[in-house]
Structure 1
Amino acid sequence: MAFDFHGDLRGWDLEGFHQGGDTELWKRLGAHRVTIQDDERGSVDGVRFTVWAPNARQVQVVGDFNWWTGDEMSLIPGSGVWGRFIEGLDDGTLYKFRIETADGRWIEKTDPMGQFFEQAPNNGGIVYTSRYLWSDDEWIARRSTAQAHAEPMSIYEVHLGGWRRGLSYLELAEQLVDYVKWQGYTHVELMPVAEFPFEGSWGYQGTGYFAPTSRFGKPDDFRHLVDKLHQAGIGVILDWVPGHFPKDDFALGRFDGTALYEHADPRQGEHQDWGTYIFNYGRNEVKSFLVSNALYWIKEFHIDGLRVDAVASMLYLDYSRNEGEWVPNQYGGRENLEAIDFLRYVNKHLYEREPGILMIAEESTSFPGVTRPVDQGGLGFGFKWNMGWMNDSLRYVEADPVHRQYKHNLMTFAMVYAYSENFILPISHDEVVHGKGSMVNKVPQDDFRKFATLRAFYSYMWAFPGKKLTFMGNEFGQREEFNESASLSWHYADTPNHHGLKQLFTDLNRIYKDEAAFWELDNDPDGFRWINADDSAGNTFSWLRRSRSGELIACLFNFSPNPHNEHTVALPREGTWTEILNTDSAAYDGTGQFGNYGRVIATATHGGDGAALAQVCLPPLGAVWLKWDPAATATDPGDAGTGA
């Protein structure tokens, strides 16, 4: 028997939705197993279907339970929301909504709040109730008191379908977790997991904002993957895409025949580059939808942070548009004031609601205050990707070594603005697609120079102020560009050069986490000091990293193919500096011929300035890290100068 009412949902339950303040909309809209009270029979179990379609003439719920013929839904007064309770339905029920538009057309749509969908190319919603029991209480408790800016963060970016193709969430919970734990990353960042129809979009054109893609299993299987990562001490960041959505006719676009989630004017509501719609951030119901979606992943799936995709496209009304193709804001400017208000709202709400989570902006412009708190006039993100650092440093390593002396400032310029925001240094999937070539193939000349340069570059990256992110495959020197329809090339990951690079990443992460000098003062100028920023002729760079307690690590880099056997550096302390990393080590498939016998001795000068000089052997295309050891006794300075 079907009941022609809305279960336990009433108009006043939706007031927050219409005011833009409903942050848990998934509990009200969508398909839910509920129990209602019938005057004659008492408790009755079934599924409540609800959908927002304010401009529809009629709405029906269709599915396998009614042979796709349609059961009429009724309008909840004053809400624009249609509802229907159907007795006897349970999890696994397949459904969609059929909508008669204002102009008399019938269109079929999937549930915007659906929590589980059929696998593409099918797109029906599946009624689903989580029964997962979490085992990550210790992790969540620790997260609530975390101080992310003063803690280590090295992120492994993963496309779940391409890491090892064919693995399910449950299989990834074993293989991916073991690998990431062995490599030593603190976090994984998953490219968009929310359901998407076109595999070539990598998930960035999603149609099921509240549903982990069914390609790899059920929603509780994804919960299990997150849980296992947490139990292994690994945080989970999820790519979140509130900037645009695709035009697939079964999804959000023109949902009830009108521009419901998007702007009607294509100058405001369409991305020319991507062929997608832009959310109408000024509409309260859209704000409720999106902020609820952000909180949903954190509450329901214990996600530790959201990396917000394409923030620049949200901030500017003229983003990738020519003159006359955009509509100025009310003050005649190019800033999208409604999007800015929305980003401030979602960041402020999430940080207050779930202390310890991370909100990360992929933002490529100089928009001020991206990581400044909202109450100080900022956007309220915790971190921002440092796209300037990424572009400049890659231009440097792509240059032939003989030409690097003319591009020296590309590697030093980032320190000019290093403390203007809280930065993450990203070498992401965007750098190894669309003809840009893999990281290995960006570097000129033979394999020795390619891999030696990469070892030096990643060591430079791990020692530079800012948190770290690298895309899967970079850690072993994937030679091919990223291809979402194929696995990484694991068959050569343990061959010469590749294996050494992979081992280096393990050691970089271990040393990085062990040494507070690399992360404790990431956002404080006291944590960094140049030793020599001006040796363009030698293609060398050197600096000091410092912890709050005064621990010192000297980081030296040689991007020339020539060794500097007696490179003189001025260090702030005399005595023993222990070599804690040398990228020319045979363990990393280097030559093993250019080292410092495990330490160098710094001898005080007579200038009275407190400086001490040391002779350091810098390997060709190599990096050396030296840690000051105040307790060590330098018995014979001559045995610790240069050499193998």
Structure 2
Amino acid sequence: MEGTAAARPASADTAKVSEPATSATPAPPAPRTPEARAAAHSTAQGAAAPSADVQKPAPKSPAPKSGTGKAPSAKAPAAKAAGTTARSGTAKSGAGKPPSTKAGPPKTPAADAGPAKTGGAKTGGAGPARSPRTRKATAAATGATGANRAVPKRRATSAPKVKVRPAPPLDATDRERLLAGAHHDPHGMLGAHLTDEGVVFRALRPHATSVTVVAGGLEAELISEGDGLFAAVAALREIPDYRLRVRYGTDEPLLVDDPYRMLPALGGFDLHLISEGRHEELWRVLGAHPMTHQGVTGTRFTVWAPNARGVRVTGDFTFWDGTACPMRSLGSSGVWELFLPGIGEGTVYKFDVCAADGTHTMRADPMARRTECPPNTASVVHTSRYEWHDADWLARRGSRPIHEAPFSVYEVHLGSWRPGLGFRELAEQLPAYVRDLGFTHVELLPVAEHPFGGSWGYQITGYYAPTARLGTPDDFKYLVDRLHQEGIGVLVDWVPAHFPKDDWALARFDGTPLYEHPDPRRAEHPDWGTLEFDYGRNEVRNFLVANATYWCEEFHVDGLRVDAVASMLYLDYSREDGEWSPNEFGGRDNPDAVAFLQEMNATVYRRCPGVVTIAEESTAWDGVTRPTDVPGQWGIGGLGFGLKWNMGWMHDSLVYMSKDPIHRRYHHNEMTFSMVYAYSENYVLPISHDEVVHGKGALVSKMPGDWWQQRANHRAYLGFMWSHPGKQLLFMGQEFAQGAEWSEAHGPDWWLLDPSYSAEPDHRGVRDLVRELNTVYGRTPSLWERDCDPSGFAWITADAADDNVLAFLRYSADGTPLLVVSNFSPVVRHDYRLGVPDGPTAWRPLLNTDDKQYGGSGLVEPVPLHPE
């Protein structure tokens, strides 16, 4: 009968072993009637009632192409306290147009956007900006360019007015570029500037009716210059610590910090490292970061767009009108920066990028650490507050090299493993299931944000953000933490080979090929309709290397399985003659990709002890798992991966198993050839998601014969796989012989395990076998201590093609042998003779895949075998 059995010598020691051994963000305010306008601003003087907090639905982000959207209409009930009116919500901007006094929804953001509402701590906002002055009441209200404080209705007599006169007009070209969002230095025109004639104040506040500079006990009302610009020269000898009081229509004015009085919040050393492509913690300096800068609480926005004419930040805090928030270019680094006081966690935003031809596109932040849930595409300001509880796991995970340790992997697509569950719900079920089956690791199909669910996560737009479909970044950390607490390692699929063409993401980010290669013959991947990264550009390589480190350090993942490595290494991958360009030496290999992979692996292993990188590489490239500092046959170092998928073993063995047993004799070499190259790399034996989709059928469905024979072949194949040199990987659903192909729409057929549906051995028996295989595997060093050492393997019978039989020995580090015998025919072979090493006086069976408890015939009795 088909089956794989394992045995080891019986001895006084082994006789004592009883166990077997192997073979939301609130919406912007709607236009209000005069009667309702009293709730438009938080003006709490004294103690406002906490019950005034009102949560509203989050506004939608702009459509991917236009980047604009209508501000939804919503009214907030007002709560009176101490003769004032308070309204809660996340911090919002005062840069938009004030609410109309007419009831009804706004027509467009530009026409009817109103000053944003105030924000409180309940919504996760950053809170009010700090002020050197003491006030009795401060209501946190976020402005598009500052933390807005509503002016109390009852105020002391107005402060003395500073005499002002019109400011010198801006250069016509500068003014045009500033208003068009195409100026590299808005801070040079806006804010406060000391001149011989006094201090020139200038503010860009579209839709405002008045802007007044407030500095201590002095006030200076600015003069409108049109188009939202307000400016004046005040007779002052130095620039004071000031704020702006902005009025929209007849509403109460808002007191805000001016972001254009702020110095850059990004240091010169960071900019130098970014330009050099050597910033290993790139996620800490680019993107959106809540912080306190110059004593003011807000968020620093930074983005790399070297060829843009201008960049503006926009979001729900401006009703998606970015006019008031132009960013500045920081020298030759290509980085644009703006610190916005009052903006805090949970704020939804995008970058409005002006290309060289003057066209604008709304772009998601490439460095966003949190995103909206697809199909929405905006980025979300995020600060992690998660507290880890896996210190013990991290301390011991690098105790021995991974290729000398047990390593069996359960591959999971989180979105379909249990459809409908998020990260936190999965954390209550997945760790227990994986631990019960005995796998040492889980491998998660890509969890980074991706717009198209049917890509399974392999077309990524948010490289630094776990997908919002399943929860927040801290929710994902919770899942990883729970897996670690159960003693299970976490591997994540990582995709640095290509990215999609969505015009709101990385493609032509600043109007030019920036992340992708400028040569069209190298930029577009012919198989997937995606773009390939330009690995020769320092900043792009830095973006990817830092991203690999980010997942390992920030999310404590234990390994990265790198997708599609072969497509990176070869310039002619899936390309015909004339469709690709050779390298500088006239060859077809990609030296830039080689250098990138070497740098990525070296950086990850240096910064993250105990982490493993795994290559999905389908060719015979030399030295995939050789260290980067050890030269090979071409005189260059290896790529530096820890492990590599053995695609050859997978393909050959499945071809053999798909044949009828009577024809397998003609394909016997398919099962033996893998040992010719088994020690050229450190291998993983993968039965992955790629082998159970697109018409390939599930693993059990690949086997010939009736249902009984299919299950027998399935069990024998799993036994052969677990005993073959190399680590193991099995995709979800195959552990219980699911007969249908996997689909991301519904996931595994869990109902097959229901006792009321099937007989005990049909599916639950196969699952029991997988559990026992992992148990025996973990307890038997012969199966993993010398996985990558030729001395750990020896053939016993490799040429019994007519019998469909294979037999070999595995050895542990101390020389203990394990005998593995596989019979891939339905013929019961009694008294089958095999040569075994001298020394052991008996061989004790550890596991037989044909046992009745797994659904087999049970013909082989578990009794010791004695050599003749």
How far the C-alpha of 1:298 sits from its partner, in A, is 0.4
1:284-337: CA deviation from partner (whole Å, max 9, x where unpaired): 000110000000000000011100000000000000000011110000000000
Q: Which residue of 1 aligns with 2:722?
A: 462
Q: Give 1:100's aligned residue.
A: 354
In 2: Cα distance, 1:62 partner to 1:20 partner: 28
Aligned ranges for residues 525-604 of structure 1 at < 5 Å? Answer: 525-572=790-837, 573-592=839-858, 594-603=859-868
Shift in Å, 1:599: 2.0
Aligned to 2:259: 3
* Displacement of 1:90: 1.2
CA distance, structure 2, for counterparts of residue 500 and residue 139 of structure 1: 32
Contact 2:270 2:279 in 1 (8 A): no
In structure 1, what is the equivalent of residue 650 of structure 2?
A: 390
Given that residues 262 and 279 in structure 1 are in contact (C-alpha distance below 8 angstroms), is that contact kept between their aligned partners in structure 2? yes
1:21 to 273, 278, 284: 278
Q: CA deviation at 1:6?
A: 6.0
How far off its partner does 1:396 sit?
Answer: 0.4
SS for the counterpart of 2:321 is: coil
Specify the code of the residue in structure 2 equivalent to 1:546: Y
1:520 corresponds to 2:520: no
Deviations 1:26-80 (A, max 9, x none): 000000001011xxxxx21111110011111111111111111111111112211
Per-residue deviation, 1:145: 2.8
Max Rg structure = 2
2:485 to 227, 231, 239: 231
Q: Distance in 2 between matches of 1:598 and 1:31?
A: 66
> 2:518 pairs with 236, 254, 264, which one?
264
Match runs of 1:43-442 below 5 Å: 43-70=295-322, 71-376=325-630, 377-442=637-702
More helix by share: 1
Larger RCO, structures 1/2 (Cα 8 Å, 6+ apart): 2
* Alpha-carbon distance between aligned partners in 2 of 1:145 and 1:568, rounded to the nearest angstrom: 42
Equivalent-residue separation in structure 2 for 1:172 and 1:552 (angstroms): 40
Higher mean displacement: 478-487 or 21-30: 478-487
Q: Cα deviation per residue 1:502-521 (whole Å; 9 max; x = unaligned)?
A: 00000000000000000000
Please list the CA deviations of residues 341-385 of structure 1 after superposition, one character each: whole Å capped at 9, or x if unmatched: 110111111112212110110000001011111101111111110
CA distance in 1, matches of 2:792, 2:296: 64
Query: C-alpha separation between the residues in 1 aligned to 2:527 and 2:774?
Result: 37
Tell me how far apart the structure 2 counterparts of residues 597 and 252 of structure 1 sit (CA, whole Å): 60
Q: Give a deviation string over 1:472-493, Cα, whole Å, max 9, x none.
A: 1110111111111112100003
Match of 1:323, SS?
coil
Q: Percent identity?
A: 55
Amino acid of the structure 2 residue aligned with 1:595: V
Per-residue CA deviation, residues 526-567 of structure 1 (Å, 9 max, x unaligned), is: 111111001001100001111111222110010001111211
Determine if contact 1:144/1:354 at 8 Å carries over to the other structure: no
1:475 aligned onto 2:735? yes
Alignment: residue pair count: 597
Aligned residue type for 1:30: G
For structure 1, which segment, 432-441 or 293-302, has the greater mean C-alpha deviation from structure 2 after superposition?
432-441
Question: How far apart in 2 are the matches of 1:75 and 1:282?
Answer: 24
Separation of aligned partners in 2, 1:146 and 1:226 = 21
2:265 and 2:339 in contact (8 A); partners too:
no
- Asked if 1:448 corresponds to 2:708, the answer is yes
2:269 is aligned, of 1, 4, 12, to: 12
Is the Cα–Cα contact under 8 Å of residues 480 and 557 in structure 2 kept in the other structure?
A: yes
CA change 1:230–1:317 in 2 (3 A) is same
CA distance in 2, matches of 1:253, 1:195: 16
- Measure the CA separation in 2 of the matches of 1:551 and 1:258: 61
Q: Classify the secondary structure of the residue corresponding to 1:565.
A: coil
Structure 2 distance, partners of 1:458, 1:315, is 32
Instruction: Tell me how far apart the structure 2 counterparts of residues 117 and 7 of structure 1 sit (CA, whole Å).
Output: 25
Partner secondary structure for residue 457 of structure 2 = coil
SS at match of 2:361: strand
- Aligned structure 1 segments of 4 or more residues deviating by more than 4 angstroms: none
Counterpart of 2:821 in structure 1: which amino acid?
Answer: L
**Correspondence for 1:625:** none
TM-score by length of 1: 0.92
Cα 1:269–1:231 shift into 2, 3 Å: same
Q: Deviations over 1:562-598 (max 9, x none)?
A: 1112111111134221111011111101122x11333
8 Å CA contact 1:397–1:442 kept in 2: the answer is: yes
How far off its partner does 1:273 sit?
0.8
Equivalent residue number for residue 56 of structure 2: none
How big is the shift at 1:144?
3.2
Read off the aligned partner of 1:290 and give its amino acid letter: L
Which residues of structure 1 form unaligned runs of 5+?
Answer: 38-42, 604-644
Q: Which moved more, 1:559-568 or 1:453-462?
A: 559-568
SS at match of 2:429: helix
Give the Cα–Cα distance (whole angstroms) in 1 for the partners of residues 348 and 277 of structure 2: 30
* CA distance, structure 1, for counterparts of residue 472 and residue 552 of structure 2: 17
Residues 426-468 of structure 1 show CA distances to partners (whole Å, capped at 9, x for unaligned) of: 0000101111111111111211110000100000000000010
Give the partner amino acid of 1:101: A
CA distance in 1 between partners of 2:562 and 2:809 (Å): 32
Change (3 A) 1:6 1:177: farther
1:246 to partner: Cα distance? 0.3
- 1 CA distance for matches of 2:433 and 2:352? 45
1:487 aligns with 2:747: yes
State the distance in 2 between where 1:597 and 1:230 align: 36
Residue 264 of structure 1: how far off its partner (Å): 2.1
5+ unaligned residues in a row in structure 2: which ranges? 1-145, 147-257, 631-636
Shift of 1:239: 0.4
